Structure 1
Amino acid sequence: MTEDSGAGKRLADAVELRDFLRRAGTLTLADRRTLVGQAQVLIEQNYVHLPLKVAMHAVNPVQRLRLLALRLARQSDQTMDPEWRFHAELSQIFLSLRDLHTNYLLPEPFAGRIAYLPYQIEEYYEGDERHYVVARVVAGFAAPGFGPGVEVTHWNGVPIDRAVDLSALRFAGSNPAAAHARGLESLTIRPLRIHVPPDEDWVVLGHVGADGIARELRERWRVVENLPPFVNADELTAAAVAQGLDLATDEIGRAVKLLYVPEAITAAESTDAADLTADLTAGQSAEPDGPAGAVATSMPAVFRARSVTTASGTFGHLRVFTFNVQDPDGFVREFVRLIGLLPQDGLVVDVRGNGGGHIYASEFTLQTLTPRPITPEPTQFITTPLNTRICAQHGQDPTGQIDLGPWCASMNQALETGSVYSGGFPITPAGGANALGQQYHGPVVLVTDARCYSATDIFAAGFQDHKIGPVLGVADNTGAGGANVWTHALLKLLLEVPEPAPGTPYQELPGGANMRVAIRRSVRVHDLAGTPVEDLGVAPDERHRMTRRDVLEDNADLLEHAGRLLAALPARRLEVEAGAGELTLRTHLLDRADVYLDGRPRASADLTQEIVTVSVPGAGEAHVIRVEGFQDGVLAAARTIVR
């Protein structure tokens, strides 16, 4: 990426926060009343987690909105509060829910911009003691005695650990691990669409360098236009309807790329969301060859693949930055291609910092890592008259973008029985979640952190529920976002198509403002069937505390830990070559194979050696061949061939 590219121009156009704020403040009193009234509609009539949040966090957002509406009714254009105070109060009501799906999105000029400081802080541990260190600085920024590796001690005179805790109180985080992670990342990057601007014009950072000298660095907040989002969530598309995304993490992920790795930005990312989505899913461009062990990908904004050598062996490491794509099938195809090029003796799937995206993409991917059939997570509406109207309007949708028919009967019944929630039905089609079957037969470890959210929470829960492999967490929990999220603009549109519904409660929002709401909650399957993901998240099977080497040397100790877990697990093999009337099987650590043609059982063979030819009449004509491999009577591997 060159300096005259879109990324370079964005950074060159950055302005100081105080100058940016002089342009803000265009909402009228009527605009504010509209925003509060629409927030009441979403929270009272659409928000699926309202009973849970009232119970778990002792909050009353509906009453707070009523009081704010009352205060606005008593104000005039001359006596109304400053606009920043209105934004702060409405944002705080949404933040009190501790739900990163349910947001007030500020209007222009905040939309699409971030406030940032020219460095990024991460934490690590020495034993049980937590430390903070500068991990990266913006290209071109320099200060005496300052750079990656300096130890951070204070934030505006407050000890850094306390400063992170205070920051965490201001931002949504549904469990302590998630709140801490949000508090840390918001110290240096804040998406202005979701977070009100920082109170301070500048920050004084206390730090100690390698020379042991304590220094202070004073830097002003800057504001810059962020890279565009991957998906337009306001349009009636399958990607918008199946959205499961923490918008703040998604915004921050794009901001980190803009600020710290601009060389990895594709040409499409520097223009607009439509071109970006095409670039992400069509495979039209591949990243340049990277360091030794790296595997080039056509979706560099989504994946980073490489081989890593540890003391326990050489394994694949696949970083999944986001599930936020338009084409989930294209996502899975590239995932499968990459894992096929990585070492087959073990795979680390790393979803740290992944805020989610397309729920199909997350649940379609699970099948590629396990021989077991995937059960997509069921989801539920809260049973209100407004949600019932929406379901009825889209019980049979001619556009093919949304089908709420499965929920209709239980929604109507709930109005009679008083049930709080509808019946549970998956968003992800079960056929799509099992169409390809297992593609990787070695052991797999999933790495998570407290910033994993929404579709990534669903992916992690499915990984654990289907017993694919151990979950190695660098935090005590994931972000715990268990829902499908719709925007106010999408909800308004749903009552306008295919024909406008009379008496819609949704009004146009002023100034480019928007809102998002958790509309359908997800619950887990198998051993934890019925357990909500929201607030509870996915606890790891094993915990890793990030070290200084992890922060500054590309996760060195984390990957060693993952390598030890992989080395302790069996690395199986199952390859199938179909011929006329027979199959040639190449296997390892399997003792029996059962063969199905187009869903019907056709043959079974004992695997007395690693290469076996099995007579299967009709194999040459079958559309779908599935071979299931067993070890000691337990399904251990599978291979599906679709013609």
Structure 2
Amino acid sequence: MGIDEGATGQAKRLADAVDLRDFLGTAGTLTLADRRTLVEQALVLIEQNYAHLPLKTAMYAVNPVQRLRLLALRLSRQTPETADPEPRFHAELSEIFHSVRDLHTNYLLPEPYASKVAYLPFLVEECHEDGGPRYLVTRIVEGFSAPGFEPGVEVTHWNGTPIGAAVDANAARYAGGNPAARHSRGLQSLTIRPLVIHLPPDESWVTLSYLGGDGIARELREPWRVTANLPPFVDAGALTMAAVSQGLDLGTDEIGRALRMLYVPRTLTAEIADVPAEPADAGADLPTSMPAFFKARAVVTPSGTFGHLRVFTFNTNDPGAFVGEFVRLAGLLPQNGLVVDVRGNGGGHIHAAEFLLQTLTPHPITPEPTQFVTTPLNARICAQHEENPTGQIDLGPWCPSMNQALEIGAAHSAGFPITPAAGANAVGQCYHGPVVLVTDARCYSATDIFAAGFQDHGIGPVLGVDDNTGAGGANVWTHELLKLLLELPSPAPGSPYRPLPGGAGMRVSIRRTLRVHALAGTPVEDLGVRPGHRHRLTRRDLLAGNQDLLARAGELLAALPVRGLDVRVVGAANELTLRTSLLDRADVYLDGRPRLSADVTQDTVTVVIPGLAAARTVRVEGFQSGQLVASRTLVADTT
């Protein structure tokens, strides 16, 4: 799953970087016919596939369909000699997609933009101090230097504009679904922009005003540079389970890979095959077989020592291995409290996100239902894959409601989950201490789904560094995948999908997601997940390992009960040994059938259960005062 590149590959990519002005001189190869094809295909996606079109037109008073029709009309009147400059075409088509404020629904620029990233050799982040925002340089590309320029310097102006106003102006250009998301992405795009999804910067260079580490005010003029980005983990255009189950903010995913390349090249090496099994030492990182996905450590806070597990992305081809590594890391961290930190996680495989929830709660997980917008084209796609002829995608559950909705005029189909309920509950609870989830406004898509599920299932407190998550509530399919779905297992006559020219691409929100339990039926899109607790990042958070954020999370963990449920099977003797904490009853199920209910009057009890040795699954549910508060599932090794 990893990228075996390391520092050597990083050095080559940086050495191959070119100034933005030179790069733009190589762009511009689309013909007028190519442009007409792109607009025609954009109309197909927005008008006939886009799950959120009714919501977006109402919520933002926009009409992307009419704007595309007008653009198509204008292109029909142009000749190759009178056509607009190509950058103007890219800007207009991108703006139409941006108008719906949906980071799932994108126009992806063609080559040479598609695989490139534009960057400045430093990162700027926001903290709060003395009642207001401050903007600090937090990372610098190795080898770059300027007088008094180091992590911690404060940026005051950007191209002569006060930095706060520059961030707000930049935020207005991006498609975040709420003010917190737009502000966060406006800040991020000051210094890094994947050109597949962002237009190139207007300026060739940036003039930065800053207070140096010595307190002297200085200016730095630095050109934008362009280099090749790292490749994605998942081929979203292929007919695979990972592609059809994708919930991903492509921009955040692209930026995440670029940040690894620029600032943490050690994580680019291939994953470690053999990792130690010793518990984490306080303050030390745990080695992981998936450094692109996880970072785990035991952190010391004023309230105690707790586990801190960063989840950088859900964009994996193998949700089972992903969950397995999370469980392994969590098991080696302190068991009295865990901080699951998904800040900056743009999502990925929806199965991976919803499979992970079960490991943190004794309660059954209800995956989020999803809905198609009801159009004849979506009904055709569902009908072609009603019986899962390819073995990769089963759209049968949606077919009856799609056909009925077309008759009665309903805007959306019935809702059915993408994630199989059996997989979402196969592993069961693995971590029994209290858990706090940390979010920010860059959490999106599958990460929104994870955060919503965490909150809806009452797993623990949600601590946000922003007022909301990014609010991306959909399964996203590429134009390439949609085209393929009408070609397999055999081509459907009259498919509206045409190949896109020049390596261009498009993506669309195809199935919208809905929340469950107390908020059942509420869309995730544009609403997102509001945290129950709020922490504004401080200077120490940015420069000293999130010390204040983790201290706040530690306070929340310390106020919650620490439960324990360890189960050992002595198969030949049909004996089950239970080690418990803060439980007063245990119910035992063999292969899904109830076999025993025992009062737990001491920390360790051994019970005899006839048939235990032959059972394939053993599930133990722990109760306190009649409430289910812990569970453990054991599966027999049949290999």
Which category describes the TM-score, using the shorter chain as reference length?
over 0.9
Matched, 1:156 2:167: no
TM-score (norm 1): 0.96
2:13 and 2:227 in contact (8 A); partners too: yes
Matched, 1:361 2:344: no
2:248 and 2:346 in contact (8 A); partners too: yes
Q: Report what 1:214 is aligned to.
A: 217
Distance in 1 (CA, whole Å) between partners of 2:408 and 2:325 is: 46
Distance in 1 (CA, whole Å) between partners of 2:276 and 2:359 is: 24
1:628 is aligned, of 607, 621, 625, to: 621
2:282 and 2:298 in contact (8 A); partners too: no
Q: Report what 1:71 is aligned to.
A: 74
Change (3 A) 1:235 1:3: closer
Change (3 A) 1:266 1:124: same
2:6 and 2:265 in contact (8 A); partners too: no
Q: Report what 1:510 is aligned to.
A: 501
1:591 is aligned, of 572, 584, 591, to: 584
Q: Report what 1:575 is aligned to.
A: 566
1:45 and 1:386 in contact (8 A); partners too: yes
Question: Shift of residue 213 of structure 1?
Answer: 1.5
Distance in 2 (CA, whole Å) between partners of 1:614 and 1:26 is: 74
Q: Report what 1:533 is aligned to.
A: 524
Matched, 1:284 2:256: no
Q: Report what 2:34 is aligned to.
A: 31
Distance in 2 (CA, whole Å) between partners of 1:334 and 1:2 is: 22
Question: Shift of residue 291 of structure 1?
Answer: 9.4
TM-score (norm 2): 0.97
Distance in 2 (CA, whole Å) between partners of 1:293 and 1:555 is: 14
Q: Report what 2:390 is aligned to.
A: 399
Distance in 2 (CA, whole Å) between partners of 1:581 and 1:58 is: 66
1:290 and 1:296 in contact (8 A); partners too: no
Change (3 A) 1:143 1:285: farther
Distance in 2 (CA, whole Å) between partners of 1:356 and 1:30 is: 35
1:286 and 1:299 in contact (8 A); partners too: no
1:121 and 1:133 in contact (8 A); partners too: yes
Question: Shift of residue 615 of structure 1?
Answer: 2.3
Distance in 2 (CA, whole Å) between partners of 1:286 and 1:436 is: 22
Matched, 1:128 2:131: yes
2:618 and 2:634 in contact (8 A); partners too: yes
Tell me the SS of whatever aligns to 2:69.
helix
Matched, 1:499 2:499: no
Matched, 1:340 2:343: no
Distance in 1 (CA, whole Å) between partners of 2:634 and 2:95 is: 52
2:604 is aligned, of 584, 599, 611, to: 611
2:441 and 2:470 in contact (8 A); partners too: yes
2:251 is aligned, of 248, 272, 288, to: 248
Question: Shift of residue 157 of structure 1?
Answer: 0.6
CA offsets per residue over residues 436-459 of structure 1, 9 Å max, x none? 100000000000000000000000
Instruction: Report the residue type matching 1:232 in the other structure.
Output: D
Distance in 2 (CA, whole Å) between partners of 1:96 and 1:471 is: 30
Q: Within 5 Å, which residues of 2 pair with 1:412-451?
A: 412-451=403-442
**Structure 2 runs not aligned, ≥5 long:** none
2:6 and 2:268 in contact (8 A); partners too: no
- Structural RMSD (CA): 1.5
Distance in 1 (CA, whole Å) between partners of 2:334 and 2:7 is: 39
Change (3 A) 1:290 1:182: farther
Instruction: Report the residue type matching 1:284 in the other structure.
Output: A
1:10 and 1:225 in contact (8 A); partners too: yes
Question: Shift of residue 290 of structure 1?
Answer: 11
2:283 and 2:300 in contact (8 A); partners too: no
Instruction: Report the residue type matching 1:596 in the other structure.
Output: Y
Change (3 A) 1:291 1:86: farther
2:7 and 2:266 in contact (8 A); partners too: no
Distance in 1 (CA, whole Å) between partners of 2:442 and 2:496 is: 34
1:150 and 1:208 in contact (8 A); partners too: yes
Q: Report what 2:300 is aligned to.
A: 309
Question: Shift of residue 293 of structure 1?
Answer: 2.2
Matched, 1:546 2:537: yes
Give the number of aligned pairs: 629
Distance in 1 (CA, whole Å) between partners of 2:286 and 2:505 is: 39
**Structure 1 runs not aligned, ≥5 long:** 268-278
Distance in 2 (CA, whole Å) between partners of 1:523 and 1:2 is: 39
Tell me the SS of whatever aligns to 2:613.
coil
Tell me the SS of whatever aligns to 1:5.
helix
Distance in 1 (CA, whole Å) between partners of 2:325 and 2:355 is: 12
Question: Shift of residue 287 of structure 1?
Answer: 10
CA offsets per residue over residues 91-129 of structure 1, 9 Å max, x none? 000011110000000000001110000110000012431
2:390 and 2:488 in contact (8 A); partners too: no
Question: Shift of residue 7 of structure 1?
Answer: 1.8
Overall identity of the aligned pairs, in %: 72
Q: Report what 2:480 is aligned to.
A: 489
Instruction: Report the residue type matching 2:343 in the other structure.
Output: R
Question: Which has the higher mean CA deviation after the structures are superposed, 451-460 or 597-606?
Answer: 597-606
2:7 and 2:265 in contact (8 A); partners too: no
Change (3 A) 1:2 1:100: closer
Tell me the SS of whatever aligns to 1:66.
helix
1:2 and 1:8 in contact (8 A); partners too: no
Change (3 A) 1:285 1:173: farther
Distance in 2 (CA, whole Å) between partners of 1:291 and 1:542 is: 26
Change (3 A) 1:72 1:286: farther
Change (3 A) 1:341 1:160: same
Instruction: Report the residue type matching 2:184 in the other structure.
Output: A
1:352 and 1:447 in contact (8 A); partners too: yes
Question: Shift of residue 263 of structure 1?
Answer: 2.1
Instruction: Report the residue type matching 2:32 in the other structure.
Output: L
Distance in 2 (CA, whole Å) between partners of 1:233 and 1:154 is: 39
1:287 and 1:300 in contact (8 A); partners too: no
Distance in 2 (CA, whole Å) between partners of 1:140 and 1:98 is: 37
1:316 and 1:346 in contact (8 A); partners too: yes
Q: Within 5 Å, which residues of 2 pair with 1:30-49?
A: 30-49=33-52
Question: Shift of residue 3 of structure 1?
Answer: 8.1
Question: Shift of residue 12 of structure 1?
Answer: 0.7
Q: Report what 2:316 is aligned to.
A: 325
Change (3 A) 1:285 1:77: farther
